Structures are given as structure tokens and as C-alpha cells.
Chains A and B, each alone.
Chain A
Amino acid sequence: MQNDVVKESRRVKLWARILLISSVIGPGIIAGTADNDAGGIATYSVAGAQFGYHLIWVLFAITFVLVITQEMGSRLGIVSGKGLAALIRENFPFKATFFIISLSFIANWANVLANISGISAVANIYNIPNWLFVLSSASLVSWLVISGNFKNIQRIFLTSSALYLAYVVAGFMSHPDWSAALKSIVVPSWIPTQDFLFMAIALIGTTVTIWGQFFIQSYFAEKGVRTQDLGLAKLDICLGAFWTNFVAFFIIIATAGTLYANGITINDAADAARALEPFAGSLAKHLFAWGLYNASMLGAGVVTISTAYIITEAFGWEGKVNAGFKESSAFYKIFLFCIFSTALIVLIPNFPIVTVLVASQALNTFVLPVLFFFLLRLLNRKDIMGQHRNGKIMNIAAWVSIVGLTVLNLVYFVYLIIGFFD
């Protein structure tokens, strides 16, 4: 029995330790870093290659939406001391909980799939056998999380965050037109095509995510931040949102300055790495490839951990300390299921991954407004939030963001359906 206790208590400790790692780097930075996962990097790369600097202002707008939604999440977490999944379970009918959690699970699972296929893309760049690279990477992520060697995780996390600077370097190496790039941050431009709208929405969809909303709240709730530190939390959120879009800015610049300038079209982040070589040198290619690997691994780890937490929290499997490992390891089972089911799917030859990913983005866009609706309801509850309830201005800002997202998402969704039947 002692052994079981040892194993199970690790789950709790894992969370605690991740939280503490982040208190070194700053929690907003972690969330912001993981936000730029494989899907994000692919989207930024393609956005830059296809539309040059024209979409950069969207990043500027996203920063505000991200700050608004994540600030609300952090405030709810700090004041209630609970994660979003737990709060939904406790305050809404169980059927509603089951509905939103199941959808979130599917959307997150697809997100893990995107990250694992990012790993597969890196294998293709270097002509490494796919199965070898994907399975060993999946095993590495699982081993790191389950073995609980936290000193290693800490080092990897820190290195990983720093590795994103690779994109900043790559951005500089593409010799961008700085004045045009900086101007495009604040001056909106619009190309009236379907593709442009599509890409703008994809940029939003990859930054404001379902898992991110759950993650940021658990983060602040379980870290034990006190209500008097709400101001500090806001600062963290702002820094994190800035960092996310700062990296995104440089990825767009890198592909805009090279691929867009030379009229080369790409479909994903691996294409971008390969296509960069002739223009920015082989170092740029390696920076992009390893940046992608880093982002995929980090994304696979963080999104999966977050997913396992959502499920265990909502269904009450979070604390079965004395039950045997077989019964109680719901957390590990969910974790391993997500990592290895997606790894196997990526390895199926000719599997239509792109279709699955597009479908998952559609699901993401459908679930996000619903989730925000739950979030807003909770934030306006006096018995939960007390004096930290949403003010009028915050509610209006939130509703504008939600309605804006929903409208854009619906348009995106309609295009998806039209595109699907063409």
C-alpha cells in the first residue's frame, strides 16, 4: 500500500512542482510559451508566407482578447481557489458539465494530435524514420512526466522557453523591412479574399484556446496566489500575452521577408523550414526545424497534462490517494491515452490528418464561445466572486470579445463547410 501512496501522491506533486517552476519564470510566460505550440507555429509561418506583413495587426488585436479572457480566468481561479472544470461541475447541471468537458476533451485531443504531427514533420525534414522519431519522442514526453524527475523537467522547461528565441533570431536573419513591419502592427490592412479571412481567424483560433483557458485558471488557483496579488497576476497575464505575440510577430516576419517576398507558398511549418534555406541560410532552416520540435514537445506535454487535469477534476478522480495504482491512475491513463493514440494515428500511412485538424479547429471555434459563456456566468456570481465580480466595463469588453469571436468563428465555419463540399 505504501507503494501506491508513493505513486499517487506524485500526481499532486507534479502539479505543485510545475507551478513552482513557473513561479521562477512567471506563470504568464509559461502559458504564453505553450500557446505557441506546433499548430500556432504552422499558422504563423503560413500567414507570413502567404500574406507578408498584412496580418500582423491581427496579432496586436489578439493580444487584447487574450489579456481579457485570461485575466478573467486568472481572477476566477485566484478568488475561488478552484479550477474551471471543478467550478463548472459544482455550479451547473451535471449534463451541462459532461457536455462541455467532453467537447473540450475532443478538442484538446486534436490539439495533441497537431503537436504530435509537428514532431512527425520534423522527422520528415531530417529524413529520420517517422515511427522511430514519433514513438521515441512520445515516450520521452511520457517518461518525463511520469517518472517525475522534476529537476530535469525544470531544466527542459527553462531551455524550451529560451529556445523560442530561435524564431527571433530567424526573424532577424531574414533581413526584414523594419519600418514596414512595425507600421503594420498598428495599421490594419485587409485583403478582401476568402483566404485572408480564413487565415485571420486561424490566427485567433490558435492563440485563444480551450485548453489555455482551463490551464491559466488552474494555474493561478492551485498556485495559491492570494487575492491581494490580483494586480501582479494581471501583470503576468499581460507579459505572457505579449510574449506569445512577440514570438508570433518574428515568425511572421521571418517567412514574410523570405517566402512571401519571393512568392513561395507553403502549407505547414515543415515546409517553411525547408523553404527558408535558400534565402536565409541553412542555420535558419535548423532554427525553424528545432523550434518546431521544441514547440511540439512542449505543446504535447502541456496540453496533455492540462487535459488530464480537466477530466480528473470534473469527474472527481483527482484525489484517490489510497486506492491502488490500477484504479486510481486516471490521470496517467488519460495522459498516456492522449499521447499514444495520437502518435499511432500520425503513423497511419495516408491518414487524412489535415482534415482531422481542420475539423478540430472547427470544434474549437464552436466550443470556445460556449466555454466563455460559462466563464462569464461564474464571474458574475456574487457568492463566488464577492467584490471581485466582473464590473460593467469588463462585462462589456468580454461580451464584445465573445460576440466578435463567435461571429468570426461562424463565418469561418461556413467557409469550412463550403470548402468541404467543393
Chain B
Amino acid sequence: MPYLSRLLNSKVSDSADTVIGRLEDVLIRVRPGEYSPLEYVVIKKRHQRKRVIIPYEAIENFSSEEVSLRTLFSKINFLEHEPDGFVRLNRDVMDQQIVDVAGARVVRVNDLRIGDFEGKMCILGIDVSFGGLLRRLGMSWMDFLGVMKVNLIDWRKAQPVEGVLKLDSVSKDLTRLHPADIANIVEDLSAKQGSNLVLSLDKNMAARVFEEIDPEIQKLLISQLSPEHAARISERMSIDELVDLIQSLPEHQSKQLLNFVEQDRMKKVKKLLSYEDDTAGGLMSTDFLAGLPDDTIAATIEKIRKLSDSFRSLNYVYIIDEKGKYKGVISFRKLLISDKREVLKDVMKKNIHLPVLYPTQSIKSVAHLMTKYDLNSAAVVDQENKFLGVVAVDDVMRVLVPNA
């Protein structure tokens, strides 16, 4: 099975062994999740500047030794113009960046592997190895010991980067990745390509991917996005992440972003903005599920069912009374095993038995307390025991291990 680089520029002859010209390019159509069959070839005619485009079916032999046609050249119906919706392998795919969806990374196409699939000549794989580069240079002999491994990526698991820009749609495989993996891909791309990729995702996904991106790169991306686009992403971000972003931006940009925040979110944002970064107040999230002391278990479970979509993660229900005072907490496990008719205040873990955080507490003492009591998350309250928010262990980890 040949590589495209071996075929390009080879002589093309017809059934009478007359040399017509050289193979310049191959046209395919990209369909997500399929090996693309070769559909047309572009031939640069001998001693002429003219190029002809002929259907792949007219080719009898397509190997690195020879490219030949089934019939006489004069009998072939070639196209006058390049057909729409096709991609040129040499011009548009070779040497370009692609997203390796399976590996969640961005790589450059060094060569393309062509072969037979279900009776059709197709693009099967993308060579991203060093050996591919040597082949392009005509220096494969340097690897006479055969130490270089061929590293092929399945064609179906690749997403062209330029395609992201042009089509404004992303393959399903890509969107199925974990937001953190997509974030890694975005970090690999240039600011322009990265912001385009983020914009091509749906609102919720875009926001979750954005949250996972390194804060420094977030800043680069924000400056690349229009204020409206930035607002569209920030709208679905959790409030604490949004606040972190706003804090890291230069003043004119943060003001611009704040202009787009909805009224009811604004109050929370403003409050969080008043806390220092590395304190419990700065770390805490205000996305939590609260219940009243007299709510029944059944009603609470129903509530979770309804609201589950709007929360990033949900493990506890916090019990807060009408005055906003923190009363206690109940885990999902406890919710599941308790009698459905009971009320929260009778089954919850009571506040007095629980360690709580205060907004000005430093991250070190937060980490200390959470480790000591084996907490996945802890409530933040003020001096009057008013409930302010929740610090989850991953919020702490993100600050302690910033490069992950």
C-alpha cells in the first residue's frame, strides 16, 4: 500500500504508454467517520501549464511504480472546472495541522497512507512520524536499521484544523471528548484557531472547555473573541470560574465582560469579586443545591432531578433556613437510603458537628481543614453563620497544582 508522497509527481501515462503529465493532486470529500475514497486526480500536463482533472475510475494502476489510465487519454471525459465541496490532498491536507481526536492532540500531516477499503482506493491513515518526514525528503535510506516506528493515525479519527475554521462544525468524536481534553487541544492551537474551535462547540460545552483552559491562555483567547462571543461563553460558565477570569483580565476587558453578565448573576459575581483570590471566599463556588429544613426527602430528590442539568457537579444538598443560616448538609447516599417521607432536618448532618470555613481563611488552612476531616467539600459561612458558598476539593487542587 502506497503513501501519497511517493505518488505525487509521478508520471501518468495512458493505455498506449504515452506520458500525459505528472500527478499533482488528488481530490476527495471528507465525511465524518468514513475513509474517504479517492475521487478525482489532478494531472499537470506535459510541457503545458494546463491541469486536467479526471475521475479516479479512469485510472487502472495507482502505485509508486506507475500511474496509468485504463484507456487512451483522448477518450477520457475530464472536468473543465474543479468540482465544489472537494478537498485537495496535497494542497489542503499534507503538511497541515490536524486534530488527532483519539490522542486529544494537534499534529502535522507528514504523509498520507492510501489503500484498498471495501473495494475502493481510500485514505486510510495519517503518518505523523519522523520516518514520514524522511520519506518526503527522499531519505528513507537513512533508517536502514528500521528503528523508526511508523505512527499512523486512523483517518476517521482526525479532524482537520482548517476545517474547523471553514465548516464551523466539528466532528462528533471531538465533542465527545472530555472538556479537559478539548481544552488541551485548544491550548495546542494558535489563539485564532483555538478561539474558533471553542466557538464551534455548543454553548454549554464551550463554557466547560473554557473553564478547563489555562488562565493565561484564557486571557489570550478572550482578547481574540468579540465581546458578544466572550459573553456567550461566560454566560454558561460557573460563577466562581467567571469571577476568576474577570479578575485576571485587564480593566477595560473585564468591564466589557461584566456588561454582559445577567442581572441575577451580577449580584453573586460582585460579591465574589470582593474576596481575595487565595482565600476560602475567593475559592468558593456559589453553584450549590439548597433545601429548607422542612423539605421532605421526596421533594428534594425531585428537585435534584429537575435542576441537575444546571450544575457542574452535585454531591450534597445544603440545608439553609429562611434567614439564610446554615443548618446542615446531607449527602446523596443518605438521601437515597432515607425514608422518603422524612424531612431534611431530621436526617441531615447538623451544622454544629461540622467544620466550616470563613471567607477570609487562607488556602493553606482550607486545605489543612479539608484534609484533616476528609472533606470533599466544605461550606463557607460568615460570622453570623449565614451560608455564602461551597469550596470543593477540586477548587483547592487547582490552585495547589496549577499546571494540570
A residues near B (Cβ < 8 Å) are 2, 5-6, 9-10, 12-13, 16-17, 19-20, 81-83, 86, 89-90, 94-95, 97-98, 148, 221-226, 315-316, 318-323
Contacts and interface: CB of A to CB of B under 8 A. Distances in A.
A265 B188 CA distance: 51
B10 interface: no
Contact of A223 (B106, B130, B187, B191): B191
Contact of B187 (A12, A94, A148, A320): A12
B214 A9 contact: yes
A12 B195 contact: no
B105 A322 contact: yes
B107 A222 contact: no
Interface stretch (B218-226, B280-288, B319-327, B334-342): B218-226
B133 A81 contact: no
B216 A20 contact: yes
A315 B133 contact: yes
Contact of B224 (A9, A226, A316): A226
B220 A19 contact: yes
Contact of B191 (A6, A10, A222, A322): A222
Given A12-B187, A16-B220, A224-B221, A319 B107 contact: yes
A81 B191 contact: yes
Interface string B205-220: 0000000001011011
A16 B217 contact: yes
Nearest to B218: A16
A319 B137 contact: no
B103 interface: yes
Contacts of B221: 224
A81 B192 contact: yes
B104 interface: yes
Contacts of A19: 220
B220 A95 contact: no
Contacts of A316: 97, 107-110, 128
A126 B104 CA distance: 52
B105 A321 contact: yes
Nearest to A14: B216
B104 A321 contact: yes
Interface in B142-191: 184-185, 187-191
A13 B103 contact: no
Q: How large is the interface on B (under 10, 10 to 19, 20 to 34, 35 or more residues)?
A: 35 or more
A223 B191 CA distance: 7
Contacts of A81: 190-193
Given A16-B217, A98-B137, A319 B404 contact: no
A223 B194 CA distance: 12
A82 B221 CA distance: 15
B368 interface: no
10 contacts: A6-B401, A6-B403, A16-B216, A16-B220, A17-B216, A224-B191, A224-B192, A316-B128, A320-B107, A322-B184
Contact of A82 (B106, B190, B404): B190
Contacts of A16: 214, 216-217, 220
B95 A89 contact: yes
A322 B104 contact: yes
B106 A318 contact: yes
B376 interface: no
A315 B132 CA distance: 11
Interface in B343-371: none
B318 to A, nearest CB: 31
B136 interface: yes
A316 to B, nearest CB: 2
Given A2-B404, A224-B195, A318 B216 contact: no
A323 B202 CA distance: 28
Nearest to B187: A12
A319 B191 contact: no
A13 B188 contact: no
B96 interface: yes
A319 B95 contact: no
Contacts of B219: 20
B136 A95 contact: yes
Contacts of B401: 6
Nearest to A7: B403
Contacts of A221: 190-192
B186 to A, nearest CB: 10
B105 A224 contact: no
Interface in B281-312: none
Given A9-B184, A20-B216, A81-B190, A323 B105 contact: yes
Contacts of B128: 316
B174 to A, nearest CB: 14
Nearest to A24: B250
A10 B187 CA distance: 10
A148 B105 CA distance: 22
Contacts of B130: 315
Most chain A CB within 10 A, of B103, B106, B190, B223, is at B190
Interface string B388-404: 00000000000001011
Nearest to B128: A316
B292 to A, nearest CB: 41
B126 to A, nearest CB: 11
Contact of A224 (B103, B104, B223): B223
A139 to B, nearest CB: 22
A90 B95 contact: yes
B381 to A, nearest CB: 33
Contacts of B185: 319, 321
A9 B187 contact: yes
A81 B165 CA distance: 12
Residue among A5, A82, A224, A225 facing the most chain B CB atoms (10 A cut-off): A224
Contacts of B109: 316
Return the 6 tightest CB-CB contacts between A and B, nearest first: A316-B108, A224-B191, A81-B192, A319-B188, A319-B106, A224-B224
B220 A20 contact: yes
A421 to B, nearest CB: 34
A222 B190 contact: yes
Contacts of B192: 81, 221, 224
Contacts of B217: 12-13, 16
A2 B180 CA distance: 12
Contacts of B184: 5, 9, 321-322
A90 B162 CA distance: 12
A358 B104 CA distance: 45
Nearest to A94: B136
Nearest to A2: B404
